[in-house]
Structure 1
Amino acid sequence: MTIDDCDAVATVRVRGWQAAYAGLMPQSYLDAMSVAEDAEKRRGFFARSAGRVTNVVAERDGTVVGWGCFGPSRDAGTTADRSELYAIYVLPEQVATGVGRELMEELTRRAWEAGFRGMELWVLKENDRARRFYERAGFTPDGAEELFDVDGVPVPEVRYTRSLTG
C-alpha cells in the first residue's frame, strides 16, 4: 500500500463496514460513515505508522478490492513476538471470491517475515461470517472478550489467536 491508495482503501473500509456490520452495530453510525473523512484518517494513520504497521492492498485489474494491516499487539501483557491483525476488509462484491483468503495469507506471511510468531485479532462476537473466515485461516478464540463502544452502544468483541509459521 502507498499513500496514494488511501482513497481506495477508505472505500473498501467504509463499504466493508456497512455491509459486514449491518444489524450488528447502530445503523445510524454505519449510514454516517464518509469515504472522504475515512480517506483523510487513513492518510494520517499511514504517515504516523510508517515502520510499525504493515498495510497491504489486494488488487484486481488495477483496482483496489481489499485491504488489511497488522502491527505489534496492542494488548497489555503480550510479548514482543505477538502481532495483531488490525483490519482486513474486501469490497462487498468480492466476499467469497478468494480475495480475503489471499490477503490473509499475505498478511500472516509478512508478519512471520517481520519476526512475529503469533497473531491475534478482535472480531465482533455476533459476526458469524467473519468468525468462520478467521477459523478457516487457523485462528481460534482464546476466551478474551471486551466491549467496543459504537455511538454509546456497547458491542461485544472476542479475541482470536493463532501461531505463525514460515
Structure 2
Amino acid sequence: MPAEELERITVELSGSGWRRVLAESRETRGLSLQVAVCEGRIVGLGTCCPQRSLQLQRMGYDGEIGTLYVLPAFHGLGAGRAIIQTLAMRLQRDGFRAMALWTLTRNLRARGFYERLGGVTLLEREEPCAGGALVEVAYGWNDVGALLPA
C-alpha cells in the first residue's frame, strides 16, 4: 500500500470506522467478525459477509472474506488458518456455498497462504488510491466446506 495511504490510518480513524461497520452490520446482519487471541491480546481478525462484488456473485461466489489480518509476529503460528476456518463455518452455517476474497497482487505472503489453503485465482482489478492504484487479485473456494477443520 502506498505510504500516503498508510499515514492516513490512525487508531482513532480505524476504531471509529470499525464501530460504524459493526453498528451497521447489527442492523443488516451482514457482517461477522472473528478475532484470534493469544494471552489476552488480539493478534488477528477477520470478517465475512455476503459477497459484495457483482462479478464474483455472477461466478457463484456468494460469500466473502472481507478482512483478514494477523500481526506479523504471529504469522505462521495458525492464527490466520483458525480465523479463515471459523469464518468459513459461519458462512456455511448462514447458507453460503462458496466464498472469495481480494488481496493485493504484491502481497506474496498472503497469496501463498491462500493458495496453500486451496484458493484459486479468479479475477484481477485496480482500485484507485492516493498516489495511483492498488492492483488486487481475487481468490476463491467453490466449497466453503473445504476450509473447515478436518
Q: TM-score range by the shorter chain?
A: 0.7 to 0.9
CA contact (8 A) 2:44 2:79 kept: yes
Question: How many angstroms apart in 1 are the aligned matches of 2:75 and 2:127?
Answer: 24
Question: How many angstroms apart in 1 are the aligned matches of 2:61 and 2:127?
Answer: 25
Structure 2 unaligned blocks of 5 or more? none
Report the Cα offset of residue 32 of structure 1. Answer: 3.0
Aligned counterpart, 1:31: 7
1:49 partner SS: helix
Please provide the CA RMSD for this pair.
Answer: 1.6
CA deviation map 1:76-103 (0-9, x unaligned): 1516871011000011211111111111
**What count of residue pairs does the alignment treat as equivalent?**
141
- The amino acid across from 1:105 in the alignment is Q
* Superposition pairs of residues 17-166 of structure 1, within 5 angstroms: 25-50=1-26, 51-76=29-54, 78=57, 82-142=62-122, 144-162=123-141, 163-165=143-145
Question: How many angstroms apart in 1 are the aligned matches of 2:99 and 2:21?
Answer: 21
Q: What's the TM-score, normalizing by structure 1?
A: 0.79
Structure 1 unaligned blocks of 5 or more? 1-24
Q: Which runs of 4+ in 1 moved over 4 A?
A: none
Q: What's the TM-score, normalizing by structure 2?
A: 0.87
Question: How many angstroms apart in 1 are the aligned matches of 2:47 and 2:124?
Answer: 21
Report the Cα offset of residue 150 of structure 1. Answer: 2.0
Question: How many angstroms apart in 2 are the aligned matches of 1:85 and 1:29?
Answer: 22
2:133 partner SS: strand
- The amino acid across from 1:71 in the alignment is C
Percent of aligned pairs with the same residue? 33
